[in-house]
Structure 1
């Protein structure tokens, strides 16, 4: 990766540009901010992160009814991004295993040894953390361990995907795969850059209960939205 020195705070400077199976992904610096751009569409930056952190803390709060003698809950984070959700999870000692699935090798590299390492170095050093280079939908559909919480921050949400192959994650089949990877009593939390009228219905149709939304104000534009849903014992398929 070749770094380009910042010469003008008013103009973004590209730090790295990669082309992979899902298109182009770019890391750039704009003033003090680091930004990730995918296929020409802005995905995220390091300006705030409240909603990405809340995605994880709200999932943990939704697990508060677990028995006192239960082992620490295991968490899967879908999408590494700039690392806000991972950093939030690793700072919380109540989580057990913390697995992060990220399909872009470039983003993994930026965290391991690039400009984003300063944000997640402590989290990556945590023995509970495991980074998995995989497509999230394919990972969830394959046989594997079950989790107590799935926190998904993939693309811009169910109604606004940058790449069409992410649409399947929010489809009935994708949500069924999410539910199958949750332990009974577990919680699914999904981040979105905008509200969705249809997504709560899709969650209920997929067998989730206690479906609710939470809006998080942002500096400009519509609020970020978190969708939370539970996999109750009573709803477990025989």
Structure 2
């Protein structure tokens, strides 16, 4: 897997593809062996580390240790670390990945990012859905579809959204939809570039329990965090 540690810090990025999508411009760049995704000029993620994106899924499964073949919804395909982590774990029964950007889906299905996720995409448990995450979660809740875990990584976190539309996920209505889309005792895990005590309060106000924030040391900058919460059993 590409690793930024082996790439010179001064090496300029090379744009592989720039595309206008339904939510603005999305760009795939390469810097040495490392890939980067930029949305509307805002850095989203790269392939330099991925430990926090993996923890997003791994810790959710740990919380579901007594369940048989749980169903996980991964919100945001990104560079694919969360999907790869889920597919590497045989305990997951079904893996649904929701991604709204057609370009990102294409980069994984037939483009350069296939080298990261090709095996995970070929897993019979994996289902890719092209949809807006917030809309999909609301529709799932209304239709009675339930997930054992929601692992969400659609932008830089509740206090630093990439698009205005993403703020609805962290609103009382968005969190209520997440709660409704979970099975009793199900786990909500939300990736963020920084901790948010305000968001912890929002989770509790939305009826979640066992709220906590885990910090994950990364190679550069401040630690990433994952907010965890559970729907009461």
1:130-165 superposed Cα distances (whole Å, 9 cap, x missing partner): 000000000011134200000000110100011111
- Map 1:17-96 onto structure 2 (within 5 A): 17-64=18-65, 66=66, 70-96=67-93
In the alignment, which residue of structure 1 is the partner of 2:168? 168
In the alignment, which residue of structure 2 is the partner of 1:114? 111
Shift of 1:195: 1.1
In the alignment, which residue of structure 1 is the partner of 2:3? none
Shift of 1:63: 1.0
Q: Which structure is larger by alpha-carbon Rg, 1 or 2?
A: 1
Distance, in Å, in 1 between the alignment partners of 2:41 and 2:53 is 22
Distance, in Å, in 1 between the alignment partners of 2:91 and 2:11 is 42
Shift of 1:185: 1.1
- Structure 2 unaligned regions, length at least 5: 1-9
1:189-223 superposed Cα distances (whole Å, 9 cap, x missing partner): 00001111200000000000000010001122211
In the alignment, which residue of structure 1 is the partner of 2:179? 179
In the alignment, which residue of structure 2 is the partner of 1:141? 138
CA contact (8 A) 2:68 2:91 kept: no
Number of residue equivalences? 221
Distance, in Å, in 2 between the alignment partners of 1:220 and 1:98 is 30
| TM-score normalised according to structure 2 size | 0.93
Q: Partner of 1:120: helix, strand, or coil?
A: helix
- Structure 1 unaligned regions, length at least 5: 1-8, 234-238
Any runs of at least 4 consecutive aligned residues in structure 1 with deviations exceeding 2 A, and if so which? Answer: none
Q: 1:131 aligns with which of 125, 128, 131?
A: 128
| TM-score normalised according to structure 1 size | 0.91
Check if 1:189 corresponds to 2:189: yes
